[in-house]
Amino acid sequence: MKDFKVVQIPAMEDNYFYLIHDRVSGKTAAIDPGQSAPIEQVLAAKGWKLDLILLTHHHLDHVGGVVDLKKVHRCEVVGSEFDKKRLPFIDRALREGDEVHLGEAIARVLDVPGHTLGHIAYYFEANEALFCGDTLFALGCGRLFEGTAEMLWKSLQKIAALPPETLIFCAHEYTAANARFALSIDDHNSALLERAREVESLRKQGRPTVPSSLGEELLTNPFLRVEEGAFRKSLQMEGKSSAEAFAEVRRWKDHFHG
């Protein structure tokens, strides 16, 4: 990612907003700016102008800063075609396979519904980076607010098919809580045990656990592991489809209080 810089901005209680900067063109984009002030502070410190805003879905903690930022910077705003009535400030509506250009950096749009019906993600293939909002988290996945479990499972399969070195830039710091749940159902997973120790150490130091690599997630994220025979057997779900097993694990997580 030599010519592609990502600045991760912690905000609110546990959100991450992102600025991505293409060093070749000097253009800058914000991803899911739920507030304008944290974005403005980083732009001012870096001496950057905001050219583009990329939105993954319509929830307020992802879009709350858009109107103010657009007013100040007169930047383009892009988001899901499905959500264009809920995102009246977007300038370009996107669907699966569309491309978004930020100077030399190019993102391909993935439809990843489930958390919301119009959720999309941005895959910068040449930069090995995926900005996936609330679809996939480090050691977890989004809640089913609008879509079905089968819908979210298909979205996660789409992400899982990307190269394992892809960095997963999700929108929340939920990893410590997700690790506790993962350990409750997958405590014989040596990769998960090691990762949980690393997560605990990072959080004690006040450091982020995001991004993670897709390869890490495939080894340790229970929502991506339900197709593995030994894991599914340990869950006593041998007779269920992958989508059914995923739905059951998602229900367990919804009621987990560990």
What tens digit of pLDDT does each residue of 67-78 get? 999 999 999 999
The domain ranges of the chain are 4-254
Of 21, 51, 172, 186, which is the active-site residue?
A: 172
Q: What is the pLDDT of residue 143?
A: 96
- Catalytic residue flag (residue 115): yes
Q: What is the dihedral of CA 141, 143, 145, 147, to 10 degrees?
A: 40
Q: What is the pLDDT of residue 239?
A: 87
Q: What is the pLDDT of residues 151-184, one digit of tens each?
A: 999 999 999 999 999 999 999 999 999 999 999 9
- Catalytic residue flag (residue 61): yes
- Catalytic residue flag (residue 3): no
Task: Tell whether the model's pLDDT for residue 204 goes beyond 90.
Answer: yes
Q: What is the pLDDT of residues 17-33, one digit of tens each?
A: 999 999 999 999 999 99
- Global pTM? 0.96
Phi, psi torsion values for 148, nearest 5 degrees: -100, 165
Q: Find, among 206, 95, 184, the residue nearest to 140 by Cα.
A: 184
**Percentage of the residues of the chain whose pLDDT score is greater than 90:** 95
Of 59, 73, 111, 186, which is the active-site residue?
A: 59
Q: What is the pLDDT of residue 235?
A: 92
Q: How confident is the model at residue 1 (pLDDT cuts 50, 70, 90)?
A: low
Of 22, 32, 51, 61, which is the active-site residue?
A: 61
Angle between helices 37-46 and 66-73 (to 10 degrees): 40
Average pLDDT of the chain is 96
Please say whether the structural domain 4-254 has been given the CATH code 3.60.15.10. Answer: yes
Phi, psi torsion values for 248, nearest 5 degrees: -65, -45
Angle CA 74–77–140, to nearest 5 = 135
Of 21, 73, 115, 119, which is the active-site residue?
A: 115
- Catalytic residue flag (residue 59): yes
Distances (CA, A) of 252 to 94, 182, 256, 257: 33, 11, 6, 10
